[in-house]
Amino acid sequence: MSNQPQYSGAKSVVQLKISLDYLEPEIWRRMLVPGDCTFAKLHHIIQVALGWQDCHLHSFGVRDRRYGVPNPDWDDKSLDEQRFRLTQIVMAGDRFTYEYDFGDSWTHGIVVESLERNVEPLKHAVCLEGARACPPEDCGGFPGFERLCDALADPDDDEHDELTAWVGGAYDPAVFDLISTNAALQRVR
């Protein structure tokens, strides 16, 4: 199999499975995205689909290359995510990463489940299915999220009341709302 993409252009659709690494039970989304989607747009799609708030830096790691927002103050050698389309870089079966919030280091594993060409172009990304709620921003990465879930589930925990107030009282890590997610994805341009 060649290391070159199989299909490119607006008449292709990419099916992705995006999962947060290191968490059990798994937090994941299965998505259809337009084949002409740039990595910059994919960033926005992932933010909406997972439920992040786009408050932190991010990057994609594909094979031995990094795609993100280049910053001349850092020597990170990131390629400009606005200049590369998903189907220019990846093929069906590829696995790559998306890291969000370099402090909390939320690493997402992304699998390219399929690439279909000569199909009706998608106007926007679509979430087919998924499970569990996205962790709240700034909760301390994977260990902080696990601690948060433990405290929320145990009214006798010393931090239960404080952390319940911190998340706004209505956070349920088991809930994923497919209808709301797709409504929000329609607004991603």
Q: Looking at the structure, do residues 58 and 122 belong to the same domain, yes or no?
A: yes
pTM of the full predicted structure?
0.91
Flag whether pLDDT at 99 surpasses 90.
yes
Task: Give the pair of three-digit tokens for residue 17.
Answer: 């499975």
- The per-residue pLDDT for range 1-59, each reduced to its tens digit, is 445 454 445 689 999 999 999 999 999 999 999 999 999 999 999 999 999 999 999 99
CATH number at residue 50: 3.10.290.30
Residue 6 lies in a domain: no
Q: What is the pLDDT of residue 2?
A: 44
Task: Kindly report, residue by residue over 146-187, the tens digit of the pLDDT.
Answer: 999 999 999 999 999 999 999 998 899 999 999 999 999 999
CA gap 19, 131 in Å, rounded: 10
Q: 117 and 41 in one domain?
A: yes
Largest CA distance in the chain: 57
Indicate if 96 and 167 belong to the same structural domain.
Answer: no
The whole-number pLDDT of residue 77 equals: 82
Q: Which two tokens stand for residue 46?
A: 């992932």
Q: How would DSSP label each residue in 23-88?
A: -SS--EEEEEEETT-BHHHHHHHHHHHHT----S-EEEEETTEEEE---TTS----EEGGG-BHHH
Q: What is the pLDDT of residue 122?
A: 87
Q: What residues make up the domain containing 30?
A: 12-134+173-185
What pLDDT was estimated at residue 4?
47
Angstrom distance (rounded) from CA 162 to CA 41: 36
What lies within 8 Å, CB to CB, of 87 at 6+ separation is 5, 6, 7, 8, 9, 12, 14, 35, 36, 115
Residue of higher predicted confidence among 70 and 125? 125
Number of domains in the chain: 2
Residue at 42 is within a domain: yes
Query: Does residue 113 surpass a pLDDT of 50?
Result: yes
122 lies in the same domain as 140: no
Unique residue bearing structure tokens 């299909």: 7
